[in-house]
Chain A
């Protein structure tokens, strides 16, 4: 019937190709290295100079992870801005959507590649943990839990970034809107903002809202508590973002 080489189902190969291209795509421009450097510089300096990790004299990384919602709120949208905006700008979205891959496969491939990239940034901070291990005797289980929580938090921010990216052809607009949306989730349950909210809503209402914040969900991990609720929270934000961005791309 056709001269096509492979009319049968090609299995996972197209999906794997998608993940590979997207992941490699980060390293095709100098931006990736700038990103990794900025992430590391901020992760380390916030922990040591603002969080007083060294002065605290406690062999734990909770002061390091404390700032991760801020970092991800800023850097996940930076890494996620290109997901769809770049396809639209270059016009390649029309190619991608006429190649034999479903929008869902393409979206999941892009998302996983971006998440993997954020995981690389996080992995580069392992020397911080090693330093703490060298200085004292930390509970390694708690540290591993903290890293897992931070990675989940990154996925949630990336989900939001994916929606922002699906809505525009400009990476700058995608970044700014993604950042603002994540920023709101950081503020929820944080210091001054929390007090403002408590004043407005009373302590009962504010507790419910606080559960929607990034830090409130990351905190248990940094104490070594692996609870279902924060895991479900991060994963639902991540996958809701992924799903919504896919629907936006399909509809347009």
Chain B
């Protein structure tokens, strides 16, 4: 059973068909780069996968649970960091993670918070209000709340957006550490992520899947990833 599955997902906003008939499945150990130009339907697809948006047609499952009909079970197995890593700015990092742990009903929330602070190297800012953090730390806080329950499925919307090279390296390091045990989808428009991080690439453009191949196959399409990307999304 795939840990993340999209079955014929479609979504329209009024007359605009944002996502058309998108299907794919992600298994344990896979890190999928979800690529596409801005406005291609990446975020809409992710929002349907996480149950935040209801699909007009089709279904999404996390760990076998339908995100619409078995929402709470599906969400227990899912870690999600939305674009821009929103968080309650008036809380400290520790308070925020503790809230995430409590809301998820974790057996030992204090221990989960401690481990996650270590994993994401957030200890030095644990007592700071999230509002006062730099963008790099904020992104890491968003990432931390997504992994605090050690979920089977992890969906990250532009997790390295706006980070400096060191911070990007840090996020990739953590992802690599966890990748073998999880099914991961990382949405991005940064092509270098493909080579560094992912095992598979899904390209989406104008709401449709244009390409769903292993990293090797995509890299074999041409030496210039930018050209490959332009050709696939044209």
Contacts and interface: CB of A to CB of B under 8 A. Distances in A.
Chains A and B bind each other: yes
Chain A binding surface SS class: loop
Interface size class of B (residues with CB under 8 A): 35 or more
Given A92-B88, A98-B75, A100-B75, A4 B105 contact: no
B75 A99 contact: yes
Interface string A1-20: 11111110111011011101
B84 interface: yes
B89 interface: yes
Interface stretch (B14-22, B148-156, B201-209): B148-156
Interface in B87-121: 87-91, 99-100, 102-107, 112
A17 B104 CA distance: 9
A2 B77 contact: yes
Contacts of A102: 71-72
Contacts of A97: 51-52
B103 A100 contact: yes
B105 A100 contact: yes
Interface stretch (A21-29, A46-54, A222-230): A21-29
Nearest to B181: A3
A90 B151 contact: no
Contact of B104 (A2, A6, A20, A90): A6
A130 interface: no
Interface in B147-180: 149-152
Given A11-B105, A17-B102, A92-B86, A4 B51 contact: no
A6 B150 CA distance: 10
A120 to B, nearest CB: 19
B223 to A, nearest CB: 38
B187 interface: no
B104 A3 contact: no
B64 interface: yes
A21 B99 contact: yes
A4 B152 contact: yes
B40 interface: no
A98 B50 contact: yes
A200 interface: no
The listed residue with most A CB atoms (<10 A of its CB), out of B47, B73, B104, is B104
B80 interface: yes
B90 A3 contact: no
Closest 9 CB pairs of A and B: A10-B105, A91-B86, A17-B102, A2-B152, A100-B75, A94-B82, A28-B90, A98-B50, A100-B76
Given A5-B112, A6-B76, A102-B71, 13 more contacts: A2-B152, A3-B151, A3-B182, A4-B149, A7-B76, A14-B105, A21-B99, A25-B88, A90-B88, A94-B47, A95-B145, A98-B78, A100-B75
5 contacts: A6-B106, A9-B105, A20-B102, A21-B91, A102-B72
